[in-house]
Chains A and B, each alone.
Chain A
Amino acid sequence: EVRLVESGGGLVKPGGSLSLSCVASGFTFRTYDMNWVRQAPGKGLEWVSSISSDAYDVYYIDSVKGRFTISRDNAKNSLFLQMDSLRAEDTAVYYCARDYRGSTTFDYWGQGTLVTVSS
């Protein structure tokens, strides 16, 4: 069974940092591109960042470029999102999502972790 379990969310002040993790199981993690998708409270879905299976290619939505860093550890079946210089508008549930065969089709999602940026 494919499982994605996020952790690391919490309350942080504007300008602060937070590090999210996603541990994968039930599939060969090292062969899949992975993503972070977020959802602000009461709002729709927004793709945030992607990383290729070998970590060679990384992509970000413009609003987080220079502030967020995506990475992975294939030996530990883990995906990460380092979030710096956080803003109120980054408040959201952050989901890690598996990419179906590199097509940016998200076939499995974690349960999400809530990040709240507030003073």
Chain B
Amino acid sequence: DIPLTQSPSSLSASVGDRVTIHCRASHSIDTYLNWYQQKPGKAPKLLIYAASGLQSGVPSRFSGSGSGTDFTLTITSLQPEDFGTYYCQRSFSPPQGVTFGQGTRLEIK
């Protein structure tokens, strides 16, 4: 297993702010890193795949970067609907290597 550590665990930001969430792997995972958004009581939604690929239908204010052990999810110009918990996830085959970060809870001020 390669644990993923997200930071911060929670944050509060205002509409229009630029928000950055970090995900660090204990060993290199190349760019096998995805980002999901989950709203309370709902299923997760894929935002970013392969570290920087924007999933179809996801607003362009979301972007991902990084490779190896350090990754970043950036939301430019935060919108009210962006509240929720964000998870990073290592994609791997065979799937027993799949791990998720512990989540970052984003609150809108």
- Whether chain B is bound by chain A comes out as yes
B-binding residues in A (CB < 8 A): 35, 44-47, 50, 59-62, 95, 100, 102-112
Determine if B103 and A50 form an interchain contact, defined as CB atoms under 8 angstroms apart.
no
Interchain CA distance A62-B98 in the complex, whole Å:
12
Size bracket of the B interface: 20 to 34
* Distance in Å: Cβ of B33 to nearest Cβ of chain A: 10
Which residues of B line the A interface, CB within 8 A? 34, 36, 38, 42-46, 49-50, 55, 87, 89, 91-96, 98-103
Q: A50-B95, A60-B96, A105-B50 are in contact. List 19 more A-B contacts (CB 8 A).
A: A44-B100, A44-B102, A45-B36, A45-B103, A47-B95, A47-B100, A59-B94, A61-B96, A100-B46, A103-B50, A104-B95, A106-B44, A107-B46, A107-B49, A109-B43, A109-B44, A110-B43, A111-B43, A112-B43
Asked if A109 and B45 sit within 8 Å, CB to CB, the answer is yes
Query: Which of A50, A95, A105 has the largest number of chain B CB atoms within 10 A?
Result: A105
Q: Could you say which of B42, B44, B45, B101 has the most chain A C-beta atoms within 10 Å of its C-beta?
A: B44
* A95 touching B43 in the complex, CB below 8 Å, given contacts A47-B95, A50-B95, A103-B91: yes
Closest chain B residue, CB of each to CB of A50: B95
A111 to chain B, nearest CB (A): 6
Q: B46 and A106: CB pair below 8 A?
A: yes
Contact A107 B93 (CB under 8 A): no
* Contact (Cβ within 8 A) A45 B95: no
What would be 7 A-B contacts, judged by CB atoms less than 8 Å apart?
A: A44-B102, A45-B38, A46-B100, A59-B94, A95-B43, A105-B34, A109-B45
